[in-house]
Structures are given as structure tokens and as C-alpha cells.
Amino acid sequence: MSQLPGILKGLKVTFRTMMKTLFPGGLLKPIPKPSEGALTVQYPHVKEAPPPRARGVIALHEGNCTACMLCARECPDWCIYIEGHKELAPPRREGGKPRQVNALDRFDIDFSLCMFCGICVEVCPFDALFWTPEYEFSELKLADLLHDKERLGEWMETVPDFEEYEDGSEQKVRKVPRS
């Protein structure tokens, strides 16, 4: 076989690929089914699921956010807009004094600027931001790519649970807060 000239071997490769695409069940089942044999999927009829860690869009869990502004400061593109105010919350137990908490007024992420780098998610000290693998959020107007607090909260439903690690790892699996 190795004595055949190289051009004939090359022809064999392409022919074999064509046969594999046309007849994915092998030549014993000569029914052509190229949609199974091809390695492409016909989006949008068939959708592939990205892995759980895929960086699709960012979700906000408002309960954990204290408007500390760390994510807005660390973002390389400055695409997070946060406004908050201080208010008095009821004391934790009876007879205590009211606590001062930061309440969130506005938390927008402008996805037309976002680099999807993940620095904001990583740097948040209170676990308020999470990645979800959702990627189908294209809009017709550029301004609609600014996701406000409510929309970011809706993305929380699509956040998958954190995966287990390989053996030998010392990392602890974090929990996603589901309210």
C-alpha cells in the first residue's frame, strides 16, 4: 500500500470521508443519512449545548450584592454601571440597633462592551455574579444589549450547578444560590 503514489492515497482519504459522511452506519447499511454522518449541526434546527463552564452571559444574584463596586472597578472595559444608596435595615435580633446596609439601585452590564473575560465574576467577594452558558441573546438594537438588574436576575435561572472536580483536586465545589 505504501508503494502507491501519494496522489492516489490522497484520493482515498477524500473518498473515504465522503463515504463516512453519506453512510454513517457503515457500508452494510447503505441508506444515505448525511445529517448524521456530517460533523456539523444544522443550527437553528439542532442546537449544541455548550459545557457548563462556558462563558455565555453573566447573571446577578441581587440578594448577595452589597454594591461594593469591586466588579465595576476591575472591569477592563468599564461596562458595569452600579448605583446604590445606604439605608437602614431592621436589626438582626430583637433589641439591637438598626444596621446600615447598601441597597442596590442600578446594576447594568453593557454586553456590547463586555469582553467576557470573567474578572468581575472572579473578583466579587460575596458570590453575587455567576456565569451561565446561555448565548442566544442577540438584539436588533444596540441599546437592548444593556442588561439591567431584572434581566440579570432572570439569567440566574439558567446558571448550572458547579461541577465536581477531578480526583486529586483540593478545590471545594461552590454552591449556586437558588432563591
Where on the chain is the footprint of another protein (CB under 8 A)? 5-7, 9-15, 17-18, 20-22, 34-35, 37-40, 42, 50-55, 74, 76, 115-119, 122-123, 131, 163-171
Alpha helix (H) residue ranges in 4-118: 6-22, 34-37, 70-74
Task: Look up cell 476591575; give the residue.
Answer: 74
d(C-alpha 156, C-alpha 151), whole Å: 9
- Which residue type occupies 165? Y
Nearer to another protein, 54 or 145 (CB): 54
C-alpha cell at 122: 472572579
- Closest distance of CB 39 from another protein, Å: 5
Nearer to another protein, 72 or 123 (CB): 123
- Closest distance of CB 79 from another protein, Å: 13
d(C-alpha 102, C-alpha 107), whole Å: 13
Strand partners, 84: 104
Nearer to another protein, 94 or 167 (CB): 167
C-alpha cell at 3: 508503494
Nearer to another protein, 18 or 69 (CB): 18
Q: Are 58 and 154 in contact (CB under 8 A)?
A: no
- Which residue type occupies 24? P
Nearer to another protein, 41 or 103 (CB): 41
Would strands 99-110 and 57-60 be described as parallel, antiparallel, or unpaired?
A: unpaired
- Closest distance of CB 83 from another protein, Å: 23
- Closest distance of CB 88 from another protein, Å: 30
- Closest distance of CB 64 from another protein, Å: 18
